[in-house]
Amino acid sequence: MIVGGGVAGLESILALRDLAGERVALTLVAPQPELLYKPLLVEEPFDLGPAERHALAPLAEEKGARFVQRALTGVRPDEHEIELDDGSTVEYDYLVVCAGGRFVPALEGATTFPSGELSFRADELLDRAAGKDHRVLFAVPAGVTWSLPLYEVALMSQRRASQRGIDVKIAIVTPEAAPLVIFGTAASAAVTELLRVRGIELFVNSTVREVGEGGITLRPGDRALGPAEVVALPLMEGPGIDGLPADDGGFIPIDDRARVKGVEDVYAAGDGTNFPIKQGGLATQQADAAAEDIAHRIGEGAAPEPFRPVLRGKLLTGDESVNLSAEIAGGGGEGEASLDYLWWPPHKISARYLAPLLYHGEAHEEPEPPRHALDVEVALPKEWHEEPTALDPLSPPEVD
Ligand SMILES: Cc1cc2nc3c(=O)[nH]c(=O)nc-3n(C[C@H](O)[C@H](O)[C@H](O)COP(=O)(O)OP(=O)(O)OC[C@H]3O[C@@H](n4cnc5c(N)ncnc54)[C@H](O)[C@@H]3O)c2cc1C
């Protein structure tokens, strides 16, 4: 039983079908009829079309899975049953919960991106900035660990402003020690240089304290900036599922095989777990770990590998070609930053099973050259999944 029609849920279906073959009967439960490919939400404010969506029913059918369009309301682990929002119950042998997280606005007076609907139109945002000292400020709130989309909308806004010949100052405020430092110091240095070349102002080790009509105040030190249009990432809350354990934020605690701590035969993967970095590639790696464990338990597949997180990110930068290449060292191995592909297929969410499936469905056989994106890949320190709460992703990882 797989709950959730996001990337973690679909990866679970695909991995289980591959690893356990016809020995498993699969059911997918999700309230929405479609998978929303969230990384491409960054293109919506720029009128580049709505983010990709994929109908779940045919994907499930193709893999021989039953699709139930319902929301999970609770789990009864002792009975091996889930409850759905129509009051019905369904039995499971193994359950994989991939219910994602919920966005919560983090900063009053700011435009929250992303939100449930189109948060802003870039052209309108840039026009409004004319009345606010010609400044647009993109803010990463404290507690957000996946800040890449904020850098993307800042870079794309800068590009749009220069295309339109508008005089707008773009700034980024972030609690990170350096931009995208989670990828390591060399990749971060490459991003810093990219921002400098684009004329994007950067305030690191800082957050926005207040958005006022008269101006913006930053922490620490009540540093005052002039007025600005502000776009901020939201915070995330966990799904808080009745019958399953949750931490203070509502996230489901898992171990390095994606097993829910203290609950027999229940697994969880993706943004809804207590793994601190809420990222699609990592979500699918957790789903793969869960599928391997389940397959092995029913006598299929090799001994399961624990979840070894590798962070892969493709930074959309706009249409300027910037040649960057760097080797970075994460806690668990070498990292790289490059304009060449670092993984295949070259999807924003790198996933063993889901990426090839979605890539196959695309019209063109060969991808466009990666002119507009910077790929970064780094193995994360293994302590990060052994003791997720010890993680401080906003400080630079150690460099060998
Ligand atoms: C703007 C933006 C850009 C991003 N860029 C990248 C990127 O470049 N690379 C990358 O790897 N990641 C990126 N991410 C992160 C990535 O999108 C998420 O980490 C990923 O979507 C998490 O997948 P998930 O399956 O855990 O959750 P979700 O994608 O949130 O899916 C959750 C699913 O569970 C369902 N659900 C919710 N509640 C219930 C319930 N009660 N019962 C049943 N089903 C339920 C939902 O309907 C949904 O189908 C980005 C995210 C955003 C917002």
Convert the pLDDT of each residue in 114-164 to its tens digit.
997 888 999 999 999 987 888 999 999 999 989 999 999 999 999 999 999
Cis before residue 58, ω within 30 degrees of 0?
no
For residue 264, the model assigns a pLDDT of: 97
Neighbours of 360 (CB within 10 A): 9
Q: Which of 27, 44, 84, 98 has most ligand 1 atoms within 8 Å of CB, for mutation?
A: 98
Greater pLDDT, 220 or 397: 220
Ligand 1, atom 36, lies closest to the CA of 99
What is the rounded distance in angstroms from the CA atom of residue 42 to the CA atom of residue 47? 10
Convert the pLDDT of each residue in 377-390 to its tens digit.
655 554 444 554 44
For residue 321, the model assigns a pLDDT of: 35
Provide the β-strand partners of residue 337.
Answer: 326, 376
Ligand 1 centroid to Cα of residue 34, in Å, is 12
For residue 286, the model assigns a pLDDT of: 96
Query: Would the pLDDT of 392 be above 80?
Result: no
Ligand 1 centroid to Cα of residue 97, in Å, is 12
Ligand 1 centroid to Cα of residue 231, in Å, is 21
For residue 357, the model assigns a pLDDT of: 87
Ligand 1 atom index nearest CA of 42: 1
For residue 203, the model assigns a pLDDT of: 97
Q: Which of 267, 245, 293, 234 is nearest to 108 (CA)?
A: 234
Greater pLDDT, 369 or 231: 231
CB 63 within 8 A of CB 83: no
Query: Would the pLDDT of 396 be above 60?
Result: no
Query: Would the pLDDT of 298 be above 80?
Result: yes
The binding-site residues of ligand 1, defined as CB within 6 angstroms of any ligand atom, are 3-9, 29-32, 38-39, 41-42, 71-72, 98-100, 114, 146, 148-149, 239, 270-272, 278-281, 283, 313-314, 348-349
- Residue labelled with tokens 């993967």: 269
Interval 294-303 mean pLDDT: 91
Share of the chain above pLDDT 70, in %: 83
Ligand 1 centroid to Cα of residue 103, in Å, is 10
Q: CA-CA-CA-CA torsion for 268, 271, 274, 277, nearest 10 degrees?
A: 130
- Confidence category of residue 337, pLDDT binned at 50, 70, 90: low
CB 2 within 8 A of CB 27: yes
- Confidence category of residue 397, pLDDT binned at 50, 70, 90: very low
Ligand 1 centroid to Cα of residue 344, in Å, is 21
- Confidence category of residue 305, pLDDT binned at 50, 70, 90: confident
Convert the pLDDT of each residue in 206-249 to its tens digit.
999 999 888 999 999 889 999 999 999 999 999 999 999 999 99
Q: Cα dihedral sign for 232, 251, 249, 389?
A: negative
What is the rounded distance in angstroms from the CA atom of residue 90 to the CA atom of residue 239? 20
Provide the β-strand partners of residue 112.
Answer: 232
State the DSSP code for 219. Answer: E
Interval 246-257 mean pLDDT: 96
For residue 188, the model assigns a pLDDT of: 84
The b-or-e profile of 323-350 (16+ CB within 10 A means b, else e) is ebebebbbbbeebbbbbeebeeebbbbb
Q: Which of 278, 285, 283 is nearest to 114 (CA)?
A: 278
Ligand 1 atom index nearest CA of 241: 41
Interval 85-113 mean pLDDT: 97
Q: CA-CA-CA-CA torsion for 9, 10, 15, 17, nearest 10 degrees?
A: 110
Q: 21-25, 39-43, 187-191: lowest mean pLDDT where? A: 187-191
The mean of the pLDDT values for the chain is: 85
